[in-house]
Structure 1
Amino acid sequence: MAIKLRKSYRFALRSSTYITLIVSTVVGVSLYYFYELNPLILIIFALSLFTVCFFILQYRVEKFIYRRVKRIYDDVSLLESSSFQNQAVTTDMRTLTQEIEKFAKDKKFEIETLKVRENYRKEFLGNVSHELKTPLFTVQGYIETLLDGAIDDKKVHKKYLQRANKGVERLIYIVKDLDMITKLEVGDLHLEYEDFDIVELVRSVFEMFEMKAAKKNITLTFDMPYDEPIVVHADKERIQQVVANLVVNSIKYGREDGTTEISIENLIKNKVIVRVTDNGEGIEKQNIARIFERFYRIDKSGSRKEGGSGLGLSIVKHIIEAHNEKIYVESVYGMGSEFSFTLEKTK
């Protein structure tokens, strides 16, 4: 690594000044008492001495500091720190201190990030295990019962096979959702962009889940009449999946006799924002930041009475981000929630 001379000369200047003053004083006094004192010669001597001392001291100090600082750079480079490997050695203490402090902060942030990822990995593996274990054990239990003799009873074996089939369907549902998230994360899911009416798409989602909403007497509605189409440019199938997931969530966690309302507003010249609002139980503040994580459930009791794979909101987030759009959530615990996302309008 080349030497980068960004340094203060104060040490060499001061040291040279002290040496020059002392030596010049001694020489001047000696010349005054023993020889005839010529002030011009003394001044030339002092300037020459100062110059020689300055360059010698500066060179030696620079070398001394450089050798030791270079060891620091070499030791840090062993940690594969690209920020240090790709720059020249500096012997300026202020600059070096700043670089070391920045390096320490970066490493601290990196360590904290790795700890968060490790905790997330452990939690994720635990959640995957839990989600897969329940339907697997259900299927295994029914099959073992059939093998133990229940298969001879036609009524029983048909009922057990139907229940085992539901368990398998849940497993397939979870695996498909995981596969989709993986593809979205690595950018392997191809989006089929087209122009379509988002109002008509919302109406079709309402029709799809009106029976589900009716069980809790929840009203699916727009905030106002939309007589004119609002045409957006996106992957219609994926956006339908987003709206469906948000509507299903609002029904699951909505109040009896509640409302799920969708509004579509112009955001800026070429953007619209779609809002899905409910007056359900809402989300506590500490949970809002994590609701888009895979398998993260607000209900820590482990209850699965509402069904689902636990991946719905994570898929929603990934689909919207794959469109280079934004998704937002606002919620007041006990009063309801609002999920909103942006889309590009057709030009």
Structure 2
Amino acid sequence: MKLKSRLLTAFLIITALPIFLITLAAGTIVRFQVNSIEETYDVKSDTIKLISNPLQILSRLTRGVYNEIVITSKQEPEKFEDETYINYLNSELTGKYSYIVLRKGNQFIYSGNNENLDYIKRYLPKYGKYTTDMEGGMYIDTKNPFLLKQKDFHFTDGSEGSIFVITDVDTLVPQIRSSAIQMVCSLIFVVILTAGVLIIWIYRSILRPLNTLHAATDAMKEGNLDYSIEGDPEDEIGQLCVDFEEMRIRLKELIEVRLKYEEDTKELISNISHDLKTPITAIKGYAEGIMDGVADTKEKQAKYIKTIYTKANDMSVLVDELSFYSKIDCNTMPYTFTNINLHEYFSDCIEELTLDLEVKNIEVVYKNETDAALKVSADAEQLKRVINNIIGNSVKYIGNKKGLIKIQIEDIGQSVKISIADNGQGIPSKDLPFIFDRFYRADSSRNSTKGGSGLGLAIAKKIIQDHMGTIWAESEEGKGTTIYFTLKKCKEVTEYE
């Protein structure tokens, strides 16, 4: 999920989730408390009326007692002169925030709450001025507001009497107060829950990937390039993790290549040292032979000098080969590409090679199946180096038997394929995949007969790759090896008149 989408989701969670949860909690609390009110006070009404009009509830709380007062005033008014009966009525109002007040004439002869009576007695209606029905009540708005139910009657001595049912409005029924507390608690819970959900979501989707990325960075800083991480490419942070992982893999590969290069360099130095040791030893030996007078004839001296020259020339070839590879390996070798006629070019090469290889008892067979006018784009000098390196490598492993090198050229569409096959000892299958690696030599014994620096085929591969071609090998032990490589044809230019 994109970061923009995450922010939008977070906004929706912050707004929608609390509204939904608060609505759900409020509905549940109100329904529960309304049921409790109906069961406790035996009142029946719709939910909104019970919550929005608590005076109605307070009025209904005293309905039973007031009904009894009305009946008593009509049938047995003398009971109101019995304090025990008045106490009984007052006790029925206990827990309903109500009490009884009895007035005879202008004197209050009974009060269920003497403390409140001092505040409200001046607000109580005179005899005959106000009488409520059985369901009604009168709200008196004072410093201490109350709900009043009044019933007038006559005492047995004929004096005027009024009995009041006073309900304290300042205190709501417990269920309404409990509902308010539960609402506040629910609101706090919803806020905490929403914050918790957001924190967990943000931690899982943002902070945890960042912590993982931080741990990976620390591991990389300590040199541990094997610390792998995963990320979801669908969001920015996940993409950052994916990019970091790609960077880690690339960096690890570069370091491995660097280490391999250093290892190969050490091997090269060892190989060059070994290969130089033989001609240097020979040069020293023959030079000492001349100085000590061992070469006491002109023929011997000429032989010694020729040997010294040959060995020095071998050393020069090794140094030149190393210098050349360092150039192409660093991509500093300039190429001069020209359109070369393949038939003419290979005819000249084969003629030159045949003269050199006949001396070594090696026959050259050449076959070109392409059009005589076909041209390829190549650097003539470097292409010749490729051919010489491949054939030179073949010559080393043919041995003393009658040698055979076959060179064949085929047209394969957009390219031409050149194959150079020999009848040498072949390459073991375990070594075949590595023969184009720099410094690699299948002949681990490094005997003086084979020699070489292990750079010939690596140089050939690099040159062919720089020519936008491919190179590969096939071999069978005891039967020989074939090296293949391809070259791109020149693009034909058609002139339109």
Normalising by the residue count of structure 1, what TM-score does the alignment of the two structures yield?
Answer: 0.74
In the TM superposition, 1:236-247 aligns within 5 A as: 236-247=380-391
One-letter code aligned to 2:47: N
Unaligned runs of 5+ in 1: 81-89
The alignment partner of 1:253 has SS state of helix
1:105 deviates by 8.3
Q: 2: CA distance between counterparts of 1:210 and 1:58?
A: 84
**What do the CA deviations read for 1:114-148 (whole angstroms, capped 9, x no partner)?**
45653563244224323233324642564377469
Alignment of 1:58-97 (within 5 A): 58-65=197-204, 66-78=206-218, 79=220
Q: After the TM superposition, which of the residue ranges 95-104 and 205-214 deviates more from structure 2?
A: 95-104
**Corresponding residue for 2:47?**
38
Partner of 1:259: 404
Encode CA deviations 1:25-63: one digit per residue, 9 max, x unaligned.
455323321376638999xx8xx9698677434433345
Q: What one-letter code is carried by the residue in structure 2 that aligns with 1:315? A: I
Deviates more, 1:17-26 or 1:120-129: 17-26
How far apart are the structure 2 equivalents of 1:215 and 1:112? Answer: 47
- Higher mean alpha-carbon deviation, 309-318 vs 33-42, is at 33-42
Contact 2:268 2:439 in 1 (8 A): yes
Q: Are 1:132 and 2:273 an aligned pair?
A: yes
In the TM superposition, 1:280-319 aligns within 5 A as 280-319=424-463
Supply the AA of the counterpart residue of 1:285: S
Selected match of 1:209 from 348, 353, 357: 353
**Given the superposition, is the C-alpha separation of residues 258 and 143 from structure 1 closer, same or farther in structure 2, using an over 3 Å criterion?**
closer
**Partner Cα separation in structure 2 for residue 165 and residue 323 of structure 1:** 36
Whose Rg is larger?
Answer: 2
1:220-275 Cα distance to aligned partner (Å, 9 max, x none): 1123677834322211111122122222333332373343222211111x421112
Q: Does 2:306 correspond to 1:167?
A: no
> 2:79 aligns to what?
none
The alpha carbon displacement at 1:201 in A equals: 2.5
- Is this contact kept in 1: 2:232–2:242, CA < 8 A? no
- Give the letter aligned to residue 132 of structure 1: S
Distance of 2:258 and 2:363 partners within structure 1: 40
Preserved CA contact (<8 Å) 1:181 1:318: no
> Are the equivalent residues in 2 in contact too, given 1:205–1:244 (CA < 8 A)?
no
Secondary structure of the residue aligned to 2:398 is coil
Shift in Å, 1:297: 1.3
Q: Identify if the C-alpha distance between structure 1 residues 309 and 331 changes in structure 2 by more than 3 Å, giving closer, same or farther.
A: same
- Structure 1 equivalent of residue 379 of structure 2: 235
Aligned residue type for 1:60? I
Q: Which residue of the partner structure matches residue 263 of structure 2?
A: 122
Deviations 1:273-328 (A, max 9, x none): 11212333222222122111223211111113134443211111111112122112
Secondary structure in structure 1 of the residue aligned to 2:424: coil
The secondary structure found in structure 2 opposite 1:285 is coil
Which of 477, 481, 484 in structure 2 is aligned with 1:340?
484
Match of 1:183 in 2: 327
Task: Note the aligned Cα RMSD (angstroms).
Answer: 4.4
SS of the residue 2:353 aligns to: helix
Q: Normalising by the residue count of structure 2, what TM-score does the alignment of the two structures yield?
A: 0.54
| Post-superposition CA distance 1:192-217 (Å, at most 9, x none) | 12222222322323232324433554
Secondary structure of the structure 1 residue equivalent to 2:469: coil
Deviates more, 1:230-239 or 1:95-104: 95-104
**In structure 2, what is the Cα distance between the partners aligned to 1:225 and 1:203?**
13
Q: Report whether the alignment pairs 1:143 with 2:284.
A: yes
Q: Which has the larger displacement, 164-173 or 298-307?
A: 164-173
Alpha-carbon offset, residue 345 of structure 1 = 2.3
Structure 1 pair 51–332 and aligned structure 2 pair: CA distance change class (3 A): farther
Counterpart among 336, 343, 363 of residue 219 in structure 1? 363
Question: SS of the residue aligned with 2:442?
Answer: coil
Q: Counting helix residues as a fraction of each chain, which structure ranks higher?
A: 1
- The 1-side partners of 2:355 and 2:6 are apart by 74
Is 1:279 the counterpart of 2:429? The answer is no
> Which runs of 5 or more structure 2 residues have no equivalent in the other structure?
39-44, 52-178, 222-230, 493-497
Question: Paired residue for 1:86?
Answer: none
C-alpha contact 2:342 2:374 (8 A) present in aligned 1: yes
Equivalent pair of 1:197/1:229 in contact (CA under 8 Å) = yes
Q: Give the residue type in structure 2 aligned to 1:38.
A: T
Give the 3 Å change call, closer, same or farther, for CA 266–107 of structure 1 in structure 2: same
Q: What is the CA–CA distance in structure 1 between the aligned matches of 2:362 and 2:321, rounded to whole Å?
A: 27
CA distance in 1, matches of 2:284, 2:370: 52
